């Protein structure tokens, strides 16, 4: 808490296939988002609530630089659906149909499709144990964890289980347990998926630092990569998540993700609320 006078803080609430975000535009400066403030904003009862919080900052070479926070205040290098939502916002603002955004994952290229969806290149997947990272030299295609999951890095770690029925999984219990498995020194996102048709998967997501989410872009990329490596699908995959559908296309230049975006509303955090949390 601080005695320094605060000014109200504007934000946008967005979602991609139900994966919801608070987005704060800092291109003109303003309040610095700390892990503690991110946690307070992420409180769905006393704050706003989100799966991830993203800040937009100026960048010398890209359209903007993005930083992502999980609901527990931890920082994530990648958040595919938030990147798509922000890309749509900035493309509408600049009247562009493509742009580049800087994240800790690197420079990500976004495009608007002819059908009004947004696709983004999430970069090449990390398949080597040290790059994901894992705690020890391990076969990433068959982890020594009950259920025989696959490990993939998409700027953040992922652990994917292929099961007979993803909807039958106790996601809260299994996700929380696997997130902190000692094989993942930075914790991990967890997915459970099953094949429902040719190149078509049903999946559910537990995100590290947040919990169960209706969708996750980087998780969807990881599942598609893992499914192809296992020989279950080709490189172009449709994924049905709790919040909607995403299309993943693993090409030579990276993993492309396409899906819907929504800017739900714009709001303001009051100076009084900020003063009690900064």
Give the distance between the most distant pair of CA atoms in the chain.
Answer: 60
Task: Check whether 66 has a pLDDT greater than 60.
Answer: yes
Q: Are 62 and 96 in contact (CB under 8 A)?
A: no
CA distances from 46 to 16, 43, 269 (A): 23, 5, 11
Q: Which residues pair with 157 in a beta bridge?
A: 153
Q: Is 147 exposed, middle or buried (0-12, 13-18, 19+ CB in 10 A)?
A: middle
Q: Are 259 and 247 in contact (CB under 8 A)?
A: yes
Q: How far apart are CA 252 and CA 108, in angstroms?
A: 15
User: What integer is the mean pLDDT of 179-188?
Assistant: 98
Task: Check whether 6 has a pLDDT greater than 80.
Answer: no
Q: pLDDT value at position 245?
A: 97
Rg (Cα) of the chain, in Å, rounded?
A: 18
Domains along the sequence of the chain with CATH: 9-118+261-275 (3.10.310.10), 150-252 (3.10.310.10)
Task: Check whether 78 has a pLDDT greater than 90.
Answer: no
Q: pLDDT value at position 40?
A: 98
Q: What is the DSSP letter of 124?
A: P
Q: Is 268 exposed, middle or buried (0-12, 13-18, 19+ CB in 10 A)?
A: exposed
Q: Is 225 helix (H, G, I), strand (E, B) or coil?
A: helix
Nearest to 82 by CA among 95, 69, 100, 99: 69
Task: Check whether 186 has a pLDDT greater than 90.
Answer: yes
Q: Is 4 helix (H, G, I), strand (E, B) or coil?
A: coil
190 phi, psi to nearest 5 deg: -130, 135
Q: pLDDT value at position 70?
A: 96
pLDDT tens digits for range 108-126: 999 999 999 999 999 999 9
User: What integer is the mean pLDDT of 128-143?
Assistant: 98
pTM above 0.85, yes or no: yes
Question: What's the distance, Cα to Cα, between the start and end of the chain in Å?
Answer: 5
Q: Are 219 and 209 in contact (CB under 8 A)?
A: no
Average pLDDT of the chain? 96
């Amino acid at each position: 808490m601080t005695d320094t006078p605060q000014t109200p803080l504007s934000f946008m609430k967005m979602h991609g296939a139900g994966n919801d975000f608070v987005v704060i535009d800092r291109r003109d400066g303003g309040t610095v988002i700390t892990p503690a403030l991110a946690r307070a904003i992420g409180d769905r009862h006393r704050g706003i609530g989100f799966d991830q919080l993203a800040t937009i900052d100026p960048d010398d070479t890209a359209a903007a630089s993005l930083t992502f926070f999980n609901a527990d205040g931890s920082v994530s290098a990648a958040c595919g659906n938030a990147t798509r939502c922000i890309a749509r916002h900035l493309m509408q603002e600049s009247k562009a149909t493509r742009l580049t955004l800087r994240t800790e994952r690197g420079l990500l290229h976004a495009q608007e499709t002819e059908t009004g969806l947004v696709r983004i290149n999430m970069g090449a997947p990390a398949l080597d144990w040290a790059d994901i990272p894992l705690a020890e030299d391990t076969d990433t295609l068959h982890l020594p964890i009950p259920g025989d999951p696959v490990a993939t890095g998409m700027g953040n770690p992922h652990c994917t289980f292929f099961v007979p029925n993803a909807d039958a999984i106790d996601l809260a219990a299994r996700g929380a347990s696997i997130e902190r498995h000692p094989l993942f020194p930075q914790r991990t996102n967890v997915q459970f998926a099953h094949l429902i048709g040719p190149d078509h998967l049903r999946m559910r997501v537990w995100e590290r630092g947040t919990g169960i989410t209706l969708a996750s872009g980087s998780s969807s990329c990881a599942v598609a990569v893992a499914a192809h490596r296992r020989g279950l699908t080709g490189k172009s995959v449709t994924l049905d998540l709790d919040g909607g559908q995403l299309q993943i296309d693993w090409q030579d230049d990276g993993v492309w993700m396409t899906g819907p975006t929504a800017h739900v509303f714009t709001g303001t955090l009051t100076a009084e609320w900020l003063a009690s949390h900064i």
